[in-house]
Amino acid sequence: MNFIPERYAVELRHLRYFVAVADEKNFTRAAERLHIAQPPLSRQIQQLEEELGVTLIEKGARPVKLTEAGAFFHVHAQELLAKAAELKTMTQRVGKIERTLSIGFVASTLYGLLPRIVRRYRAQFPEVEVTFNEMTTMQQIQALKDGVIDVGFGRVKSEDPNIRRIVLREERLIVALPAGHPRTDMPEAMSLVDLQSETLLVYPKTPRPSFADQVLSVLHERSIRPLKIIEVRDLQIAIGLVAAGQGVAVVPDSVQGMRREDVLFRPLTDRHAVSPVMFSVRKQDRSEELQKMLAVIYEVYDAANIGYIRETL
* Cα–Cα dist 65/58, whole Å: 6
Residues 65-124 touching ligand BEZ, rule: CB under 6 A, are 109, 112-114, 117
Site mask, ligand BEZ, residues 291-310, x = CB under 6 A? ------x-------------
Q: Indicate the residue among 45 and 168 with the shorter CB distance to ligand BEZ.
A: 168
* Cα–Cα dist 117/143, whole Å: 21
Q: How many CB atoms lie within 10 A of CB 7?
A: 4
* Cα–Cα dist 100/141, whole Å: 19
CB of 288 to ligand BEZ, least distance (A): 18
CB of 114 to ligand BEZ, least distance (A): 4
Binding-residue total with ligand BEZ (CB under 6 A): 11
When binding is defined by CB under 6 A, the residue of 163, 168, 195, 249 that contacts ligand BEZ is 168
Encode burial over 152-185: b for 16+ CB neighbours within 10 A, e otherwise. Answer: bbbbbeeebebbbbbebbebebbbbbbeebebee
Site mask, ligand BEZ, residues 143-162, x = CB under 6 A? ----------x---------
Q: Indicate the residue among 73 and 265 with the shorter CB distance to ligand BEZ.
A: 265
Our measurement of the distance from residue 257's CA atom to the centroid of its chain's CA atoms, rounded to an integer in Å, reads 22
When binding is defined by CB under 6 A, the residue of 137, 254, 280, 287 that contacts ligand BEZ is 254
Does residue 109 contact residue 254 with C-beta atoms inside 8 Å?
A: yes
Give residues in contact with ligand BEZ (CB under 6 A): 109, 112-114, 117, 153, 168-169, 254, 277, 297
